[in-house]
Amino acid sequence: TRHLKTLALTLGNCHGQKIYMRSPPIPEMATQEVQLNETLAHLKTESETLKSKLEEERAKLHDVELHQVAEKVEGLGQFVMKTRRTLKGHGNKVLCMDWCKDKRRIVSSSQDGKVIVWDAFTTNKEHAVTMPCTWVMACAYAPSGCAVACGGLDNKCSVYPLSLDKNENLAAKKKSVAMHTNYLSACSFTNSDMQILTSSGDGTCALWDVESGQLLQSFHGHAADVLCLDLAPSETGNTFVSGGCDKKANVWDMRSGQCIQSFETHESDINSVRYYPSGDAFASGSDDATCRLYDLRADREVAIYSKESIIFGVSSVDFSLSGRLLFGGYNDYTINVWDVLKGTRVSILFGHENRVSTLRVSPDGTAFCTGSWDHTLRIWA
Amino acid sequence: MSPRGLTALSGVSGHSPPVWFQSLDGLFFFFLNKEYFSPQTISNNMTSNSNLSNMRRLVEQLKLEASVERIKVSQAAAELQQYCLQNAGKDALLVGVPTGSNPFREPRSCAVV
């Protein structure tokens, strides 16, 4: 009876008889509202059920902890890692850096709007570009070594071909590739110079064709700003992981745009995500002062790297070549080095005079570079 | 103004779609008033529709995530460990490299300009 499409309107009594008039057929909105509310409630219940089922299934396979499996592995000795080079030249906070595949060049970007390419062996600056915006939060080296990409508060990702002629004005050849509706938080070339993957404060990630600037695929699913991304090692196929202010780390299929796995165990923003070298897992660093390891085949978190004495957020994480060490750059100016298997801290490195904002291990694993709010970059080995 | 002898069957608000009433003799009525077709009513319905499509998408996403094939943590952990141990020898930051082969550990050469 709730779905009556026509109904009788009473016009009143006339000599004790009720008079009715058939109304014209009523549009479905009245019935729709009722149906909508029922369906919405039904879907809410279904989603709650699915969420608990997901947790249940994951818990069933949680038969042991990673550090228990690793008990028999030999412990790591003392580490002698120190600053081997200091790169000075930025006028303000260093926000991001990336290594070139040649294992010696580095690109870095800063709050002062400058993007600098360095030779890390000699500490010489090879190129410098001034961006039209401040807060260049993201930069990346192209696989060929012939270009760099960067962006930030301008909401764009631009590509600059690197000229062999040091006097040439790089800004003249700039190519605008990505357009977001909020700040660019991270960018990365895919396997070639042809495509760029970006993440943004607008809550989305996107894949772009560099030549045409065309959007090839967009990735929706985060409920807040996306702060970081990392591409799976090429052998493992077309996926990438992203982390955001919604405390979630999402794994995406690059071709379909689908989110294939999602992890929500951090208690605050995820500032950095990095794949384990085999591609079977990834690490994350968060404002909740912990780093965590998620295994993709077990579909769950398998380790937490934390200490009561560490209370400042992690800005950036990366693995050593074998995946045994996890380096974390922290907001308390230090770098903590973790034994990935045993879950213990093996070293703490001092040197920077302000927050460590970015950290990357070199392509051949011989060193790692950190960038800081103290305006410098340091190479550690 | 509530007509006598009629019972409201759902909440009354000036902006929601019509309220159903049931008379004492069992007939169902609603009152056509101009608010029924107001932009507010229409947009309420559209918001509900977009909430609905968001919920549908969420449910589909959860179904997809639930269907992922998983392995036991013991097996996953063993494989992570195996990868570490197999590649440990090549990991310069872990084991160090013979003196002279890590360019960063050497004092830097001066570039002649």
Q: What are the pLDDT digits (tens) for B62-108?
A: 888 888 889 999 999 999 999 999 999 999 999 887 777 788 887 65
Please judge whether B80 and A58 are an interchain contact, meaning their C-beta atoms are less than 8 angstroms apart: no
Q: Average pLDDT over chain B, rounded to whole?
A: 71
Read off the pLDDT band of B19 (50, 70, 90). Answer: low
Rounded to a whole number of angstroms, the distance from the CA of B19 to the nearest CA of chain A is: 9
Rounded to a whole number of angstroms, the distance from the CA of A194 to the nearest CA of chain B is: 30
Rounded to a whole number of angstroms, the distance from the CA of A211 to the nearest CA of chain B is: 33
Please judge whether A121 and B103 are an interchain contact, meaning their C-beta atoms are less than 8 angstroms apart: yes
State residue A236's pLDDT score. 65
Rounded to a whole number of angstroms, the distance from the CA of A176 to the nearest CA of chain B is: 33
Chain A contacts of B91, Cβ < 8 Å? 320-322, 324-325, 365
State residue A41's pLDDT score. 87
State residue A16's pLDDT score. 45
| List of domains in chain A | 221-373 (2.130.10.10)
Cα dihedral A249, A250, A251, A255, rounded to 10, equals -150
Please give the Cα distance from A203 to A180 (Å, whole number): 10
Q: Which residue is listed with tokens 């090879």?
A: A126
State residue B65's pLDDT score. 86
Short-list A261, A228, A220, A262, CA closest to A245: A228
How many A-B residue pairs are in contact by the CB < 8 A criterion?
Answer: 210
Comparing A149 with B14, the larger pLDDT belongs to A149
* Structure tokens belonging to residue B45: 């319905």
State residue A12's pLDDT score. 44
Task: Find out whether A244 and A227 touch, Cβ atoms under 8 Å.
Answer: yes
**DSSP letter, residue A348:** E
State residue B36's pLDDT score. 46
Cα–Cα separations (whole angstroms), residue A356 to A114, A302, A377, B53: 18, 26, 9, 42
State residue A79's pLDDT score. 83
Q: Which residue ranges in chain A fall short of pLDDT 50?
A: 1-22
Chain A contacts of B77, Cβ < 8 Å? 64-66, 69-70, 295, 298, 302
State residue A295's pLDDT score. 97
Pick the CATH number of B52-95 from 3.40.50.150, 3.40.720.10, 4.10.260.10, 3.30.70.580: 4.10.260.10
Short-list A280, A273, A279, CA closest to A248: A273
State residue A5's pLDDT score. 37
pLDDT above 90: percentage of residues in chain B: 22
Domain boundaries, chain B: 52-95
Chain B contacts of A281, Cβ < 8 Å? 76, 80
Question: Taking CA atoms, what residue in B is nearest to A51?
Answer: B62
State residue A361's pLDDT score. 98
State residue A165's pLDDT score. 72
Chain B contacts of A278, Cβ < 8 Å? 79-80, 83
Question: pLDDT at residue B22 above 80?
Answer: no
pLDDT digit string, tens, across residues A319-366: 999 999 999 999 999 999 999 999 999 999 999 999 999 999 999 999
Mean pLDDT within B17-43: 55
Please judge whether A381 and B104 are an interchain contact, meaning their C-beta atoms are less than 8 angstroms apart: yes
Please judge whether B81 and A124 are an interchain contact, meaning their C-beta atoms are less than 8 angstroms apart: no
State residue B10's pLDDT score. 44
